[in-house]
Chains A and B, each alone.
Chain A
Amino acid sequence: MIEARNLGKYFGRFAALNNLHLTVSDGEFIALFGKNGAGKTTLLRILAGLSRPSRGELKIKPSRQAPPGAVRGHIGYLSHETSLYMDLTAVENLRFHARLTDVPSDDRALAMRMQQVGLAGRERDPVRNFSRGMQQRLAIARAFLHNPDILLLDEPFTGLDSSGCDFFKSFLAAAHADGKTCIMAIHDTRLGYEIAERLVVISRGAVALDAAKPSLDYAQFREKLEPLLA
C-alpha cells in the first residue's frame, strides 16, 4: 500500500512535483506516462526513498510484516542508470548486491538469477564487455534480486532488443501474477497500455489522468493522452 498525499518536490524555482496525490493498493500494475520533465523520475525516486519530498506525506506499507526502517528492503528500483560496477564481473555485481540485501549469495543461487535474465554462461565476464542490452538485463537481475514487493521501474525497456523485451514482459507478468506492486514510467504509449492495468498520466508534477484500463480502449486513451503530452 502506497499513499502519497500532496507531494511536492521543488528544485529552487522549479517544481518537479506539485500537489501530487496517488494511492496504490497492493498488487496493482501502474504505467506512468508524461512528457520529459513531467516528474515521473522524481516521483519514482521519492517512492524509492532516494529523494526527500519538499512537501506532503508519503506512506509506504509493505504487504509483508516488516520492522520499521526496513521498508527499503521491500522496494526494488530500476532506474535509467544500471547501478552496475563496470570493473566487476556480472556475478560479482550480483553477489555484492545479494550481500547488501541479505539474500543467498552462493554461486548456485546467483547462476540461477543469471539464467533467469538470459545471461547464463556470462557470469565471469566483466560488465564492461557487455552490450547495452545485456547490461540492462543484468541491471534487472540486480534491482530485483531481493524479491521486493514493490517494483519501481524507470523506462525499463531502454536498450533491450526484441527478445529482451519479450523476456522482460513475461518477467513483469510473472511478478504481477505473484501479487507484486509495479509502478513503471514509460514513454512507449502502446507498450505501456498493453502491460499495465492502471494508467496514470503526470503533467507538470501532478496527476492529470488516472484511469483503470478496462474503462478506456486504446484509441480513447490516446486521444486523452495527446493534449497532456503536448
Chain B
Amino acid sequence: MSGKAQYRLDILLGILLFAGMSFALYMALIGAPTERTMGDLQRIFYFHVPAAITGLAAFATNFVSSLVFLLRKNRRWDALALASAELGILFFCMVLVTGPIWAKPVWFVWWTWSPRLTASFILCLLYVAYMLIRKSYEDPERKASVSAVFGVIAFVDAPLVWFSIRWWRDIHPSPMLETGGLDPSMRPAFYACLGAFLILFLYLLRRRFCLETMRNKVDGLLLRLDEMR
C-alpha cells in the first residue's frame, strides 16, 4: 500500500472511530434502559465486557503474529505482536479497573478470587512478563524470537489457567449472552460498544504497528548511513 493510501485509511478509521465511539457512548449511557436492581451502575457492563472481549482479541492477535513470526522470520510480524500485546494489557487494565468499581456496590467487595477475575489477572501478568522479556534483550532479532516463543506459551497457557481455576466456587455472573440473560433491549447498546471497542483496537493497533515498523526502518537507515561513512 502506498503512503497516501495508508494515510487515507488512517483518516477513515479515525472518523469511523469517532462516530462509533459517540454512538456507543450515547447508547450505553442514555439509549439503553436502566437495569432494575442495579440501576445506572449496570451501565459499567457496556465497557467492562467489550473491553475484556477486545483484550482477548488482542492477545489472540499476539499469538497468531508470534506464530507467523517464528515460521517466517519477518520483523513486521514481530511489530504486530508487540503492538497487540501492549493493547491487550491496556484493555485488560480497563477490565481490572472497571471490575472492582462494579463489584463493590453489588457484591460488597472490591475483589473476589473468582475464576474470571483471577484468570484475567493472571492473563495480564503473563503479558507483563512478555513485555519484561522484550525489555531485557538488547539484540532486536533475539528479542523478537524469544518473545515470540513466550507469546505462544502464554496464549496456550491461558485456557489451561482458565479451566484450572474454574472448578473453584464462582460468584461471577456466568456468560450472560450465552444463557440469554441479557435483556433484548440492552443488546443494541452492548453490540454498539463492542463494535466501538474493536474499532478502537484496530485503530490503535495500526498506529502502534506503524510506529514500530518506522522505528525498524530508521534503524535500517542509520545502519546504511554508518556504512557510507
> When A and B assemble into the complex, do they touch directly, with CB atoms less than 8 Å apart?
yes
> CB distance B222 to A13 under 8 Å?
yes
Specify which chain A residues have a CB less than 8 angstroms from the CB of B140 in the assembled complex. 11-12
A12 lies within 8 A of B219 (CB): yes
For residue A25, CB closer than 8 A to chain B, the reply is: no
Report how far A11 CA is from B139 CA in the complex, Å: 5
A21 shortest CB reach to chain B, Å: 15
Task: Answer yes or no: B227 CB below 8 A from chain A CBs.
Answer: yes
Cα distance, A12 to B138, chains bound together (Å): 8
User: Could you say which of A10, A13, A52, A54 has the most chain B C-beta atoms within 10 Å of its C-beta?
Assistant: A13
Interface pair B226/A15, CB less than 8 Å apart: yes
Q: Are A54 and B227 in contact (CB under 8 A)?
A: no
Q: Which residues of B contact A15 (CB under 8 A)?
A: 223, 226-227
The interface size of chain A toward B, counting residues with CB under 8 Å, comes to: 8
Classify the secondary structure of B's interface with A. Answer: helix
For A15, the closest partner residue in chain B by CB is B223
List residues of B (79-99) whose CB comes within 8 Å of A's CBs: none
Does B141 sit at the interface, judged by CB under 8 A? Answer: yes
User: A8 CB to closest chain B CB, in angstroms?
Assistant: 9
Any chain B CB within 8 A of the CB of A136? no
Q: Is A18 an interface residue (CB 8 A)?
A: yes
Chain A 12-26 near chain B by CB (<8 Å), digits 1 or 0: 110100100000000
A10 close to B227 (CB less than 8 A)? no
Residues of B within 8 A of A52 (CB): 141
User: Quick one: which of B121-150 are within 8 Å of A by CB?
Assistant: 138-141
A13 touches B219 (CB 8 A): yes
Q: How far is the CA of A12 from the CA of B219 in the complex (A)?
A: 7
In whole angstroms, what is the CA distance A125 to B219 when docked?
A: 50
Q: Is the CB of A12 within 8 A of B139?
A: yes
Name the CB-closest residue of A to B145.
A52
Whether the Cβ atoms of B222 and A10 lie closer than 8 Å is: no
| Alpha-carbon distance between A129 and B219 when the two chains are bound, in angstroms | 47
Across-interface contacts of A12 in B (CB, < 8 A): 138-140, 219
Q: How far is the CB of B148 from chain A (nearest CB, A)?
A: 14
A10 contact set on B, CB distance < 8 A: 141, 223
B223 touches A54 (CB 8 A): no
B-side contacts of A11, CB under 8 Å: 138-141
Contacting residues, chain B, for A54 (C-beta < 8 A)? 141
B143 CB, nearest partner CB in chain A, Å: 9
B161 to chain A, nearest CB (A): 33
CB proximity of B77 to chain A, nearest CB, Å: 15
**Which residues in A have their C-beta under 8 angstroms from that of B226?**
13, 15
- Nearest-CB residue, chain B, relative to A18: B227
B221 to chain A, nearest CB (A): 10
- Which residues of A have CB within 8 Å of B219? 12-13
A165 to B139, CA, bound (A): 36
Specify the chain B residue showing the minimal Cβ separation from A19. Answer: B227
Measured CA separation A10–B220 after assembly (Å): 10
* A12 and B223 alpha carbons, distance in the complex (Å): 9
Report B190-229 CB contacts with A as 1/0, cut-off 8 Å.
0000000000000000000000000000010011001100
- Report A111-147 CB contacts with B as 1/0, cut-off 8 Å: 0000000000000000000000000000000000000
- Cβ contacts A to B, 20 pairs, < 8 Å: A10-B141, A10-B223, A11-B138, A11-B139, A11-B140, A11-B141, A12-B138, A12-B139, A12-B140, A12-B219, A13-B219, A13-B222, A13-B223, A13-B226, A15-B223, A15-B226, A15-B227, A18-B227, A52-B141, A54-B141
Chain A residues within CB distance 8 Å of chain B:
10-13, 15, 18, 52, 54
Q: Knowing that A13-B222, A13-B223, A15-B227 are A-B contacts, what are 17 other residue pairs whose CB atoms are under 8 Å apart, sorted by A's residue number? A: A10-B141, A10-B223, A11-B138, A11-B139, A11-B140, A11-B141, A12-B138, A12-B139, A12-B140, A12-B219, A13-B219, A13-B226, A15-B223, A15-B226, A18-B227, A52-B141, A54-B141
Pick the 4 closest A-B CB pairs, nearest first.
A11-B139, A12-B140, A13-B222, A13-B219
